[in-house]
Amino acid sequence: MKIIKDLFDKYSLSISATIFLIFSTLIILITNKVFGVDSLYHIKHAFLYKQNGLLDTSFPYVSASTIAEYGADIWYGFHIILIPFTFIDDPLLSVKIATIFLATLSLTSFFWLIKSINIKYPFFWTVVLLFSSADFLFRIFMVRPHIVSLLLSFALLIYFIKNKPYSIFFTSVLVSFIHIALAWVPILIIIISTLASFITEKKIYIKNILASFLGLLGGVLLHPNIIGTLKLSYIQIVELFITKGQDIPMQFGRELNLLNFGDIILQYIPLFAYLIFILFIIFSIYINKAWTDISPPNKKTLIANLLLSFIFLILAFISARRSTDFLSVFSILLSASLLTSLFEIQNFRPIIKAQSFYIISGIFLVFMILNGSLIFNQFIKNTVDPHKFEATSSWLKANTSQGDIVFNAYWDNFPNLFFWNSHNYYISGMDPIFQYSFSQDLYWKAYFIAYNGQPITCGEMKCIEDKVEDIGLVLKRDFKAKYIIVEHRRSSNLYKNLEEGNLTGFKKVFTGETESIYQII
């Protein structure tokens, strides 16, 4: 047993990375689908940079969107990182390999980072993070910049704790280069880390603060279209937050919805129960006046992660549920650093060395894995068929002119369409806020075409009789569309009206298993 332990201690990083690689590969192999349509979009966008050059950020593929208007890419750095995967001939294989690589990199990096600050049992805590919620387990297998930004934000906190300004600088550069819309997270970490340093050490590390701000600025300057990038970031952060508060019907992705108590009961009971337990221990340390026994670095880590966990918990309820990913990371580091700190406190040392403590920890881990796995198994049933719209896209490429606009009623259809066919342009994609910000008039016209499916539409949230117009006219005049894709079940009203001849000016030119294409004449 000691030989195995010594071997693992010596080669812990390599062994852990191998385990994470095997696990990630097995997860990807159990399904022929992809974990989120965004993976398809990001790989295809990276391919365009390989094809058109690294400085061409124009994106005419979403014609009624600020993304096309400003010609910028807020995920620019991430797409550059993905370019090596686009050299794989099979595009779906490139998505799978990129997924495995990013998941393995994220888990291994988390393990390495917490090990670097002498956290005890880093492999245990990495597994706890992985199964902290089904949402986290699911999202780590998406080819998206969010998981990379999460990892970099975590690394930034570690470097603040270790007082490494050069590492802080380069990490900050990567954050704003890869995913500029999340550059506010490092700013939050700067504030909280500085506060934690002042509380525990009565010091303010000016070099660290300057390093982070200069790094964030440097990452912004690496974008070819700086002004356009900043405008799109403002839309995704500020305008999105304001719009969500106005109760405007906008079909966001699930992760942008608010966390509710049903989610807590379903997914987060193990994590929240453990957090309550951690708070109880912290209170016990305070009551027993044992705070002074904890080393300054561990004190700083505890305070920073306690504050960050609380902030991201609040954000999950008032802004977006994907804040729970940050909650998982920072609350688990809080737990890990607290356990490590208990070894420094003489009164608590016998408790955490007792066999019963390890048995309880093992039971907790098993329960968390089972709970996360069961819900994750349900999520897998909702994974995306990457071949959706493949036949439709093939017909469009073969029978339409370059740049012909195809009206896609739903923004979340864009990744599949774009993945298989960049020959045509579409209406909207990514988040609906980009279409809403571009033109509220066009947003509402598209909204009523998609969700009402009647022969008329209008450009206001509340349609009145003198404002409605024929959808054929609107599609040709306002959207400049030459074709429209109609899903048989999802757009059942529109499909029924088209099939029954209640709409004029449309000619069916292609029928697939789940959708049809109509030419607008």
Single residue among 325, 347, 380 that ends a domain in this structure: 380
Question: Per mean pLDDT, which of 192-206, 207-221, 283-297 is the most reliable?
Answer: 207-221
Q: Is residue 74 part of a domain?
A: no
Amino acid at 210: L
Q: Would you place residue 427 in the very low, low, confident or very high pLDDT band (cuts 50, 70, 90)?
A: very high
Residues 219 and 367 in one domain: yes
Instruction: Please report the pLDDT score of residue 491 as a whole number.
Output: 92
Q: What is the pLDDT of residues 372-426, one digit of tens each?
A: 888 888 788 778 889 999 999 999 999 999 999 999 989 999 999 999 999 999 9
Cβ atoms of 149 and 182 closer than 8 Å: yes
140, 225: one domain: yes
| Confidence (pLDDT) at 302 | 87
The answer to whether residues 313 and 402 belong to one domain is: no
Domain match, 369 and 396 both = no
Cα separations in angstroms, 480 against 64, 192, 427, 448, 458: 10, 49, 10, 17, 16
pTM of the full structure: 0.91
Q: Are residues 465 and 500 in the same domain?
A: yes
Contact 219, 176 (CB under 8 A): yes
Whole-angstrom CA distances from 249 to 244, 321, 375, 447, 448 are 9, 18, 28, 9, 11
The beta strands (E) that lie in 433-480 are given as 456-457, 469-470
The one-letter code for the residue type at 400 is T
254, part of any domain: yes
For residue 10, tell me if it sits in a domain. no
Strands 405-408 and 481-487: parallel
Residues 364 and 411 in one domain: no
In a domain, 213, yes or no: yes
Q: Are residues 265 and 204 part of one domain?
A: yes
Exposed/middle/buried for residue 90 (C-beta within 10 Å: 0-12, 13-18, 19+):
exposed
29 — pLDDT class (breaks 50, 70, 90): confident
pLDDT digits (tens, 9 = 90+) for 467-489: 889 999 999 999 999 999 999 99
Report percent pLDDT > 70 for the chain.
Answer: 95
Mean pLDDT, the chain, as a whole number? 89
For residue 317, is pLDDT > 60? yes
Q: What is the mean pLDDT of residues 266-284?
A: 75
pLDDT at 229 over 90: yes
Residue 233 and residue 263 share a domain: yes
- Between strands 515-520 and 481-487, the pairing is antiparallel
Number of domain units in the chain? 2
Q: Establish if 478 belongs to a structural domain.
A: yes
- Which of these three, 380, 404, 427, is where a domain ends? 380
Residue 155 CB-half CA count within 13 A: 26
Q: What pLDDT is attached to residue 135?
A: 87
Q: Does residue 319 lie within any of the structural domains? A: yes
Do 204 and 274 fall into the same domain? yes
327 lies in a domain? Answer: yes
**Do 72 and 108 meet the contact criterion of CB atoms below 8 Å apart?**
no
What range defines the domain where residue 221 resides? 120-380
Q: Are 371 and 192 in contact (CB under 8 A)?
A: no
Most confident of 88-102, 132-146, 495-509: 88-102
For helices 184-201 and 296-318, give the axis angle rounded to 10 degrees: 140
**Is residue 415 located within the same domain as residue 435?**
yes
Q: What is the pLDDT of residue 354?
A: 64
| Residue range 322-370, pLDDT digits in tens | 888 998 899 888 888 888 777 777 666 666 666 666 777 777 778 888 8
368 or 35: which leads in pLDDT: 35
**So what's the pLDDT on residue 208?**
94
pLDDT digits over 123-165, tens only? Answer: 989 998 998 888 888 899 999 999 999 999 999 999 999 999 9
Residue 289 pLDDT > 90, yes or no?
Answer: no
What percent of the chain clears pLDDT 90, i.e. is strictly above it? Answer: 58
Residue 1 pLDDT greater than 60, yes or no: no
Mean pLDDT of 429-442: 92
Residue 56: predicted pLDDT: 95
Taking 70 as the threshold, does the pLDDT of residue 444 lie above it?
A: yes
Instruction: Please identify, among 328, 348, 380, the residue that sits at the C-terminal boundary of a domain.
Output: 380
Looking up residue 504, the CATH number of its domain turns out to be 3.40.50
Q: In sequence order, which residues have a C-beta less than 8 Å from that of residue 422 and are 6 or more positions away?
A: 44, 48, 61
Q: Are residues 399 and 335 part of one domain?
A: no
Q: Is residue 280 part of a domain?
A: yes
pLDDT in tens, 49-78: 999 999 999 999 999 999 999 999 999 999
- Does 463 lie in the same domain as 397? yes
